[in-house]
């Protein structure tokens, strides 16, 4: 399997799990702070929207929506669905040759080496998604949304 195919499969998998892990959460639980000062599920979704949109811009040239993230949980979820869907469609068009090219956005000097190619960026995106999915899982458990409880 080529790297672009593997990265696309991993991305699809993670996007599906973000959708599943947040689809049954209501507005109040999504915004409930479990530990003082720690991100909520709503914050996680907003952060992942920004991550998805910046990845689609850097790898595929998609321009992110000009509007700030929505305030309501329902609008945040709609934005997630729209952004992740658009990103997947665009990422599906990348081939091995494009992955060797540098990202299509300026890179902060501190990250030039680790984000030298689109493949590096996409690999980091997959890892970043997995990291935040783990956080969402812990928050779901703490909120009692999963069978196994978690005591913060």
Residue 147's pLDDT band (boundaries 50, 70, 90)? Answer: low
Q: What is the CATH number of domain 3-22+39-142?
A: 1.20.120
What pLDDT, in 10s, does the model give residues 40-56?
999 999 999 999 999 99
Mean pLDDT of 58-81: 92
Q: Is the pTM of this model over 0.85?
A: yes
Residue 46 · residue 76 · CB < 8 Å:
yes
What is the chain's mean pLDDT, rounded?
Answer: 92
Give domain limits for the chain.
3-22+39-142
Q: CA 38 to CA 43: how far, in whole Å?
A: 9
Give Cα 126 distance to the centre of its chain: 8
What pLDDT, in 10s, does the model give residues 97-140?
999 999 999 999 998 889 999 999 999 999 999 999 999 999 99
């Amino acid at each position: 399997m080529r790297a672009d195919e593997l990265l696309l499969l991993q991305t699809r998998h993670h996007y599906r799990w973000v959708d599943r892990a947040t689809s049954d959460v209501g507005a109040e639980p999504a915004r409930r702070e479990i530990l003082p000062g720690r991100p909520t599920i709503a914050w996680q979704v907003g952060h992942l929207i920004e991550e998805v949109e910046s990845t689609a811009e850097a790898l595929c040239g998609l321009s992110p929506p000009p509007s700030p993230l929505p305030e309501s949980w329902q609008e945040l979820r709609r934005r997630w669905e729209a952004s992740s869907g658009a990103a997947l469609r665009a990422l599906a068009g990348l081939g091995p040759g494009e992955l060797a090219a540098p990202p299509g956005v300026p890179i902060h000097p501190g990250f030039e080496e680790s984000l030298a190619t689109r493949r590096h960026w996409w690999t980091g995106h997959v890892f970043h998604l997995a990291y935040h999915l783990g956080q969402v899982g812990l928050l779901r458990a703490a909120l009692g949304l999963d069978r196994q409880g978690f005591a913060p």
